[in-house]
Structure 1
Amino acid sequence: MFENNTYSANWVGLIRYRAHFDLMAYREGDYFDVYKGKAFSCKDYIPRSVVVKGMRHYCGEQEDFEMYRFCSEQSRKIAIQFNKLSTVFPCKIRFVVPAVTQIDTRSTVAFGKKFNKDEYVAFEEKLEGNFTTFIDKRGNTLDGNKCCLILEAFSHYSFVVSEGNFVICGLQGVYRKDKSEFILTNPTIHSREGKFGPGDKRDPGIRDVTQNHTCNKFCQMFMNKPSKSATELENEFGEI
């Protein structure tokens, strides 16, 4: 056997998908190896292109990927509300949310990491385009795209609606000019309570982001009118 396969897991529209993926990672992150793959369900005639993420340095556990999904889901909720703030924003923001599952069958050969049976992994939508880190984990803007002003404002907005309890940064993914949309993955969230995983640097992380932020014209759109509080967002979308 020359591919790795996962068990099925709830993903798009709560439909169950299973994925198979390449033997060799095509990208490496701080925590994950990233593999190209395909996801299948009984509802789709054509498989969906996905990336499968496994832990780089050890056997992935459920809590590793549940935290990853938790950060993605919280960011997605904030982005939905942010996108509603104004019809004049030049582009929208969307976060992909992964499915968390386990390895079912493993390849008999490996180029790099050899996965364990039942090891936890995650799969998510494969982003088409030039993958870019737009804003780093300290709140520094790294890309000259003028639409990054929207991402800077979004990071600021997350701090406002959480009433200073957390800030979303580490904004990376692709900008789809044809859709006027940022599609982002694997955000970092710094919080007062340190509840967003190993990338959460708590108060020092929040301080770095706020000190590196310069307000722009899009920040003024929510600073000059009441924004929904974290409590209101929680009632609308679930726990924040």
Structure 2
Amino acid sequence: MSGLGATFNPISFAEGRFRRAYMGTWTKPLSKIGQWCVVKKSKETFTWKEKDWDTTKAVQEEAQTFADEFNNHFRTNYPIRFTEVNVLQVTSVPNLKDAPKLNEYVVTEDYIDGEFKKWCNNYGYVSEEAKTTAPSMPAFMHWSWYHTNGQMMIADLQGAKLTNSYLLTDPVILSDDDQFGCTDTGVEGMLMFFRTHKCNKFCSSLPAPTISDFIGIIPPFTLSMCSVAMPSVTNCTAYQQELKLTRPVKNAVLRTFRNVAARIQH
């Protein structure tokens, strides 16, 4: 199976809730010929227009911009990087179930050569390793929230720890207006993160909302429904259609976020 710029195995080697992944090799550019790559397609739909991947590309590029600023600010020994997304069209394909179709558009990126791990998702899950030996992962989420005055957060942090950096893929951006596609769980995803987050050496100086900030804002029954939903998306990506907060409650939570993010830390 091939596309314009890569050849790949039509049998997937991994999948999440949203995409399937196929192992491949680059056929161009010249600097990458023969190197491993990963081809990904949507599980639920066929992608016949290149622009349908625009949100995916924009999220990855925006996440890298945030990561650059985070790395420069904290000067960590292991800076955070994200893979670059390329959109390719499939030019040849066998007739196999679950394989990309002829002329379908897929995304392709460099293969991450390391032990793949999911440190955080987009609905409050933070792995034990992220809490102990990879503290920059939840700190990056917290910092991105603070950096945007409580209006955005980089989430769904997954990838590998390499010799001198973290290399991540498939991030999610949570936004105050749910503009970044079906995995943008918005202020509800941010709220669920802060329900479990414990600040570490990177983010201890940053403002953070606590449950007391939401007394009288979130109905107890609604918060209970969110808590029940958390285990169902542990270690995987949540979707917008699974959210529980009503728009008026989300707006109230966002106002609280902005007030908290504006606090001066002493």
- Listed as ranges, the gaps of 5+ residues in structure 2 are 208-266
Cross-structure match for 1:134: 119
Corresponding position: 1:100 with 2:97: no
- 2:188 & 2:32 partners in 1: Cα distance? 48
The alignment of Structure 1 onto Structure 2 pairs a total of residues equal to 205
Letter matched to residue 163 of structure 1: N
- 2:28 & 2:128 partners in 1: Cα distance? 37
> Residue 178 of structure 2: which of 191, 194, 199 is its match?
194
TM-score by length of 2: 0.71
CA gap 1:210/1:64 in 2 versus in 1, 3 angstroms? farther
- 1:36 & 1:190 partners in 2: Cα distance? 29
Runs of 4+ in 1 over 3 A off after TM superposition: 61-64, 220-223
> Residue 78 of structure 2: which of 70, 91, 105 is its match?
91
SS of aligned partner of 2:25: strand
- 1:215 & 1:25 partners in 2: Cα distance? 38
Corresponding position: 1:120 with 2:117: no
Corresponding position: 1:79 with 2:67: yes
- Counterpart contact for 1:133–1:143, Cα < 8 Å: no
Describe the superposition over 1:18-37 as per-residue Cα deviations: whole angstroms up to 9, x where unpaired.
01100200001111110000
CA gap 1:63/1:199 in 2 versus in 1, 3 angstroms? farther
Cross-structure match for 2:151: 165
- 2:23 & 2:99 partners in 1: Cα distance? 16
- 2:29 & 2:189 partners in 1: Cα distance? 43
Moved more, 61-70 or 161-170: 61-70
Offset of residue 63 of structure 1: 4.4
Offset of residue 222 of structure 1: 6.3
Bigger Rg over Cα: 2
Corresponding position: 1:208 with 2:192: yes
- 2:12 & 2:105 partners in 1: Cα distance? 16
- Counterpart contact for 1:75–1:187, Cα < 8 Å: yes
TM-score by length of 1: 0.79
- 1:206 & 1:42 partners in 2: Cα distance? 39
Corresponding position: 1:218 with 2:202: yes
Offset of residue 217 of structure 1: 1.4
SS of aligned partner of 1:84: helix
More helix by share: 2
- 1:32 & 1:158 partners in 2: Cα distance? 25
SS of aligned partner of 2:161: strand
Offset of residue 54 of structure 1: 1.0
Q: CA RMSD in A?
A: 1.9
Letter matched to residue 211 of structure 1: R
SS of aligned partner of 1:33: strand
Cross-structure match for 2:8: 21
CA gap 1:114/1:130 in 2 versus in 1, 3 angstroms? closer
- Counterpart contact for 2:82–2:169, Cα < 8 Å: yes
Cross-structure match for 2:238: none
Cross-structure match for 2:26: 39
Alignment of 1:49-60 (within 5 A): 49-60=36-47
SS of aligned partner of 1:217: coil
SS of aligned partner of 2:7: strand
More strand by share: 1
Corresponding position: 1:6 with 2:34: no
